[in-house]
Structure 1
Amino acid sequence: MHVNTAPYNHPTPWETSFEPLTLPAMLERTLMHDPGAPFLHFMGRTFSYRAVHSEAMKFAAGLIEMGVKPGDRIGLFLPNVPIYASAYYGAMMAGGVVVNFSPLYSVEELAWQVADSGTRALVTVDVPELYVTASKVLETSELETLIVGSLASMLPLGKSIAFNLFKRSQIAKVEWSASVRRWDDVLSDEGVNLPVITPDDLALLQYTGGTTGRPKGAMLGHSQLTQNAQQVAAINPFENPRKEVMMGALPFFHVFANTALLNHAVAAGASIAMVPRFDAKQVLQTIEKYGATGFPGVPTMFQALLDHPDLAKTDLSTLKVCISGGAPMPAQVHTRFEDATGVRLVEGYGLTESSGVVSANPYVGTRKKGTIGQLVAGTEIILLDKEDPTKLAPEGEPGELAVCGPQIMRGYWQRPETDADVFVERDGKRYLRTGDVAVMDEDGFLSIVDRIKDMIAVGGFKVFPSVVEEAILKHEAVKEALVIGVPDDYLGEVPRAFVVLEPEANAGAEDIKEWLNNRIGKHERVDEVVIRDELPKTIIGKLDRKALRAEVL
């Protein structure tokens, strides 16, 4: 099942195929077109493609001098800072495999993933929280080298001096040693022969939590990442993509940003206006300062912008489109954001195992709110029976979404036994089971109904939490909602709703429960509405049902 038999609204034909490249080759191709073009804007300083490429080359040479061999894993424990790009592409130039780590990881989380991936060297910055965590992992694991960049050195000169003078408490006191090295000292000008790498080589280990157990490292090769970046660039209908400025608020360590921001920018020759972390005021200032034209984000980011008093007075006239992914976009947030800003907001879909992007609503022309849009070029799907994944779902019925395309991972790092669970063979093709339940309409637009593992079994009936959440979010007092199944002696499970109210709202839990249960099916009715100050969120800001379930149950 694919969309070349339906009206296809993306500007590049669905049948298009994309050249498998290495990530360094993709960077070098863009560099050759215009070496001085801006690549990264950061806190008032701009880094050209030439500057980032040069630093990446020096980092690659330094890693080789350190003894790094092709296939060795190099970890990035970084917020959104310019050396992320230099370390990312530089590690790959040296033949290394990049491993992304969230800056929010605890010592235990970081240590486990360092051990699981076999990471040899870890790059971080002299921010106390990051350095302290990384140094503890260095002391207690097989990690060999910690490479520490200076945040101040990435700022414009005036800001750098002020930062060093007045913000000493925000700079870690690094204990330099043979195993704790300065970023600048690792960079090498020596003429080192870089290894030959191919599109078939492994490029990235991207850890994903899944629904149970320890995180697993999705193995993404150069070809998967470069083709997905080209697939994303191909849905841009606007003229001269090299003039695009992307708002870089998503964290680069996350697969969504890795593809939709970093590698997409390189594929298109565009620039990124970065912020170290999401802050609504700083994001609004950055959009205005650099004339951002596109903004990929998660729903909570757009909600935060709506809540910020500076939104109404910020010039957003350069923004052509905002792209929401990572979690379902609440309908009222979608409508309010477009009404308040005049900027088109479209939803897309992807997952770690697909290098980031599977589908998106068109940036211009026909789009369908509440759907995840049409498949990006070269991507196919089938819908599997929810009870028996060896069969297709009945025609017209929801089924588990399974995806085939050039962006699909090879498998999980050191877990070959999982292949039988995550891949299904059909008609000579290998499809990735997503765990998401979906339907496709006659125009090729996909809608995610729910997740297989999130479905609630109520007395033999299957209840989709997202259906109940969609209903409760229509209550004017409800700002955020999550629904999970809780044990019930008679029915097995029943739905329970957890909500955050809008500011100044005075509705009570019983009132909301009665209002909701009058609007949904009998088997979908919640046993309780629990009002909270906040709901758990993931590291990129999407509501975290898994964490809520673990906490409550």
Structure 2
Amino acid sequence: MTVNKLFPPVPASYGHAQPWDSEVVPEPLHAILQRQAEARPEAMLVEFLGRKYSYREIHAEARRFAHGLIARGIARGDRVGLFLPNVPAYVSAYYGAMMAGAVVVNFSPLYTVEELAQQVEDSGTRLLVTLDAPALLPTAVKVLDGSSLEMLAVAKLSDMLPLVKSLALRTLRRSQIAAIPDRADVALLSDWLSDTPTALPAIQTGDLALLQYTGGTTGTPKGAMLSHGNLSSNAIQVDMIDPFDREQPDIVMGGLPLFHVFANTCVLNRTVVKGGAMVLVPRFDPGQVLATISRTKPVAFPGVPTMFQALLDHKDFGRTDWSSLRICISGGAPMPGPLREKFESATGVRLVEGYGLTESAGVVSTNPYEGLRKHGTIGQPIPATQVMLLDKEDPTRLAPDGAPGELVIRGPQIMQGYWNRPDTQASAFAEHEGESWLRTGDVATIDEDGFLAIVDRIKDMIAVGGFKVFPSQVESVLLEHPQVKEALVIGHPDPYRGEHPVAYVTLNEPGDGTAAVTGDELKSWLNARVGKHERAEDVIVRGELPKTMIGKLDRKALRAEVLPD
């Protein structure tokens, strides 16, 4: 049996550690950090390449940064950008900006000058915090010179490392340090830290905390407006579904980039809510992550499917100590069944799939960490989250019972809207019985146990002679082939049928004595296993498929590459 709406929930507890209707009490994010710093001042909050930072240290630096921002004229509501990898300065700058009443804007360290400048202008960012790294600082300076950006605050990597590593960086690897320009609008981050107390503003949970940029449901980058209440609620919701012993140490592996909403909630904010610790690596490097897992003994590891595949492919995978891990959580993209099975078999660690969006502050649903789970689903809605399916062709109506529909969501984590885009409000939200629901653009089903399954994205469906083909269903069949590692299916123009499916794949290494499979062989294998209208016109084997900045397979980029305008 399937249903088209799930409020109130059925069953009431959803198998999570706390009932679905548990109360979620949001707070300003920095207030949660302050409370934890007072309760456990010397407990570790951040471990970075061997150096440990306590709650007291991070909170004190955040507070000094807040005083420095106010002293230098950053006013309540001003935008402060973070153009940083996973470093301790990110954590203190993030919470410090919020203490000062500023709005944080996340910028990917992989942005080009043009991408960074565009987002600076759209957000109205006044101050950008960055790192003295050759891949970051020169880009930031160019944007400072060519945009409305007013100031740079530059953190020094050597200041955040253990003593020996800091000396080695400064003496033996100076090429990895970018020279800091001697100019009035560029200063060290340490110079922004003030010991002179200033009055900090009273922040409410409805106040804007973060602009998180996303392609959204229309593909145009725009800033999702996330309040303190949105972000703290989602962190609390994620903490609520954790069934593990709360007296045991809680250490999360921070391999996801903090600039991304998945890590922002599941690595950063949830860790502070729980009073745990995060182990940060500057960027995802499989070898470094594997060594860090063995060294620091984390209990949880959130990641995207390509991360878990990269770990499996690394030569040190078999030598890694997985004994501390209780749970791995996959999000950001569908988890292929063969990958999950292989990872779990090799590590003994449960790998569950969840789902979320930038517009939902990170998390909407997940498979339970213990007990019943359903492979191929994105699990059950997290506490206080309502879901419903709308008709794919007419979003003013519910989907027919038993039929897939567009997934829409309500809950305390749902964004306020898009920054400076009032015109998108109508398309981003749907009204039903007087309530506003976030439209996801994803086609889903809901079963009798409250498990959601994403069928596909509305905009990715392929129209073949009047039939709708879901690319994800064809991809899931391809991934059953033992030599297929990754797959993306897109529609190509067809003068007779409108469109026809074409598959693009990468391959695993063939086994001993086995020749690599060809595209024609895969095409014959696939087309014998799918419906007539789902058959691929071609299967193209490639060395790699395009991925987003956090490692998700990027259908949009593939389409732009192979189907130029």
Q: How does the TM-score come out when normalised to structure 1?
A: 0.99
Deviates more, 1:514-523 or 1:495-504: 495-504
Q: Offset of 1:212 from its aligned partner?
A: 4.8
Q: Which amino acid aligns with 1:49?
A: Y
User: Is 2:455 aligned against 1:452?
Assistant: no
Q: Offset of 1:31 from its aligned partner?
A: 1.5
Q: Which residue of 2 aligns with 1:226?
A: 232
Query: 2:133 is matched with which residue: 127, 131, 137?
Result: 127
Q: Is the 8 A contact 2:490 2:502 kept in 1?
A: yes
Q: Which residue of 2 aligns with 1:214?
A: 220
Q: How far apart, CA to CA, are the structure 1 residues paired with 2:413 and 2:266?
A: 13
Q: Offset of 1:150 from its aligned partner?
A: 0.2
- Report the secondary structure of 1:122's partner residue: strand
Q: Is the 8 A contact 1:242 1:270 kept in 2?
A: no
Q: Which residue of 2 aligns with 1:323?
A: 329
Q: How does the TM-score come out when normalised to structure 2?
A: 0.97
Inter-CA distance 241–498: structure 2 relative to 1 (3 Å threshold): farther
Q: Which residue of 2 aligns with 1:109?
A: 115
Q: Offset of 1:241 from its aligned partner?
A: 6.2
Q: Which residue of 1 aligns with 2:525?
A: 515
Q: How far apart, CA to CA, are the structure 2 residues paired with 1:212 and 1:268?
A: 35
Deviations 1:318-338 (A, max 9, x none): 000000000000010000000
User: Is 2:62 aligned against 1:61?
Assistant: no
Q: Which amino acid aligns with 1:521?
A: G
- Report the secondary structure of 2:342's partner residue: helix
- Report the secondary structure of 2:441's partner residue: strand
Q: Offset of 1:425 from its aligned partner?
A: 1.6
User: Is 2:541 aligned against 1:531?
Assistant: yes
User: Is 2:83 aligned against 1:73?
Assistant: no
Q: Offset of 1:285 from its aligned partner?
A: 1.0
Q: Which residue of 2 aligns with 1:203?
A: 209
Q: How far apart, CA to CA, are the structure 1 residues paired with 2:49 and 2:60?
A: 21
Q: Which amino acid aligns with 2:523?
A: K
Inter-CA distance 213–326: structure 2 relative to 1 (3 Å threshold): closer
Q: How far apart, CA to CA, are the structure 1 residues paired with 2:433 and 2:368?
A: 29
Query: 5 Å matches for 1:128-167?
Result: 128-167=134-173
Query: 5 Å matches for 1:426-505?
Result: 426-504=432-510
Q: Which amino acid aligns with 1:177?
A: R
Q: Which amino acid aligns with 2:534?
A: E
Q: Is the 8 A contact 2:396 2:431 kept in 1?
A: no
Q: Which amino acid aligns with 2:111?
A: Y
Q: Offset of 1:14 from its aligned partner?
A: 0.4
Query: 1:6 is matched with which residue: 4, 11, 23?
Result: 11
Query: 2:367 is matched with which residue: 338, 342, 361?
Result: 361
Q: How far apart, CA to CA, are the structure 2 residues paired with 1:220 and 1:277?
A: 25
Q: How far apart, CA to CA, are the structure 2 residues paired with 1:242 and 1:433?
A: 39
Inter-CA distance 214–442: structure 2 relative to 1 (3 Å threshold): closer
Q: Is the 8 A contact 1:78 1:103 kept in 2?
A: yes
Q: Which residue of 2 aligns with 1:20?
A: 26
Query: 5 Å matches for 1:533-548?
Result: 533-548=543-558
Q: Which residue of 2 aligns with 1:370?
A: 376
Q: Which amino acid aligns with 2:455?
A: V
Q: Is the 8 A contact 2:217 2:428 kept in 1?
A: no
User: Is 2:428 aligned against 1:418?
Assistant: no
Q: Which amino acid aligns with 1:520?
A: V
Q: Which amino acid aligns with 1:531?
A: V
- Report the secondary structure of 2:417's partner residue: coil
Q: How far apart, CA to CA, are the structure 2 residues paired with 1:15 and 1:29?
A: 25
Deviations 1:224-259 (A, max 9, x none): 000100000001001116721000000000000000
Q: How far apart, CA to CA, are the structure 2 residues paired with 1:152 and 1:424?
A: 49
Q: Is the 8 A contact 1:241 1:268 kept in 2?
A: no
Deviations 1:361-392 (A, max 9, x none): 11011111111001000000110000111111
Q: Which amino acid aligns with 1:548?
A: L
Q: Which amino acid aligns with 1:5?
A: V
- Where does structure 1 differ by over 4 angstroms across 4 or more consecutive aligned residues? none
- Report the secondary structure of 1:134's partner residue: helix
Task: Point out where structure 1 has 5 or more consecutive residues left out of the alignment.
Answer: none
Q: How far apart, CA to CA, are the structure 2 residues paired with 1:421 and 1:506?
A: 46
Q: Is the 8 A contact 1:242 1:269 kept in 2?
A: no
Q: Is the 8 A contact 1:58 1:188 kept in 2?
A: yes
Q: How far apart, CA to CA, are the structure 1 residues paired with 2:525 and 2:483?
A: 11
User: Is 2:211 aligned against 1:238?
Assistant: no
Q: Which residue of 2 aligns with 1:191?
A: 197
- Report the secondary structure of 2:136's partner residue: helix
Q: Which amino acid aligns with 1:479?
A: K
Q: How far apart, CA to CA, are the structure 1 residues paired with 2:145 and 2:219?
A: 26
Inter-CA distance 97–479: structure 2 relative to 1 (3 Å threshold): same
Give RMSD over aligned pairs: 1.0
Q: How far apart, CA to CA, are the structure 2 residues paired with 1:246 and 1:56?
A: 21
- Report the secondary structure of 2:235's partner residue: helix
Q: How far apart, CA to CA, are the structure 2 residues paired with 1:429 and 1:251?
A: 34
Q: How far apart, CA to CA, are the structure 2 residues paired with 1:462 and 1:231?
A: 36
Q: Is the 8 A contact 2:396 2:432 kept in 1?
A: no
Q: Which amino acid aligns with 1:187?
A: L
Q: Which amino acid aligns with 1:414?
A: N
Q: Offset of 1:310 from its aligned partner?
A: 1.2
Q: How far apart, CA to CA, are the structure 1 residues paired with 2:320 and 2:478?
A: 32
Q: Which amino acid aligns with 1:78?
A: L
Q: Is the 8 A contact 2:340 2:351 kept in 1?
A: yes
- Report the secondary structure of 1:129's partner residue: coil
Task: Point out where structure 2 has 5 or more consecutive residues left out of the alignment.
Answer: none
Q: How far apart, CA to CA, are the structure 1 residues paired with 2:23 and 2:423?
A: 31
- Report the secondary structure of 1:165's partner residue: helix
User: Is 2:333 aligned against 1:290?
Assistant: no
Inter-CA distance 194–147: structure 2 relative to 1 (3 Å threshold): same
Percent identical residues: 61
Q: How far apart, CA to CA, are the structure 2 residues paired with 1:241 and 1:284?
A: 26
Q: Which amino acid aligns with 1:515?
A: W
Q: Offset of 1:311 from its aligned partner?
A: 1.4
- Report the secondary structure of 1:286's partner residue: helix
Q: Which residue of 2 aligns with 1:506?
A: 516
Q: How far apart, CA to CA, are the structure 2 residues paired with 1:176 and 1:530?
A: 52
Q: Which amino acid aligns with 2:182?
A: W
Q: Which amino acid aligns with 2:549?
A: I
Q: How far apart, CA to CA, are the structure 1 residues paired with 2:102 and 2:248?
A: 29
Q: Offset of 1:6 from its aligned partner?
A: 2.2
Q: Which amino acid aligns with 1:159?
A: K
Q: Is the 8 A contact 1:211 1:546 kept in 2?
A: no
User: Is 2:398 aligned against 1:392?
Assistant: yes
Q: How far apart, CA to CA, are the structure 2 residues paired with 1:503 and 1:173?
A: 43
Q: Is the 8 A contact 2:217 2:441 kept in 1?
A: no
Deviates more, 1:203-212 or 1:353-362: 203-212
User: Is 2:280 aligned against 1:265?
Assistant: no
Q: How far apart, CA to CA, are the structure 2 residues paired with 1:330 and 1:210?
A: 24
Q: Which amino acid aligns with 1:492?
A: G
Q: How far apart, CA to CA, are the structure 2 residues paired with 1:43 and 1:77?
A: 20
Q: Offset of 1:428 from its aligned partner?
A: 2.8
Q: Offset of 1:16 from its aligned partner?
A: 1.0
Q: Which amino acid aligns with 1:31?
A: A
Q: Which amino acid aligns with 2:90?
A: Y
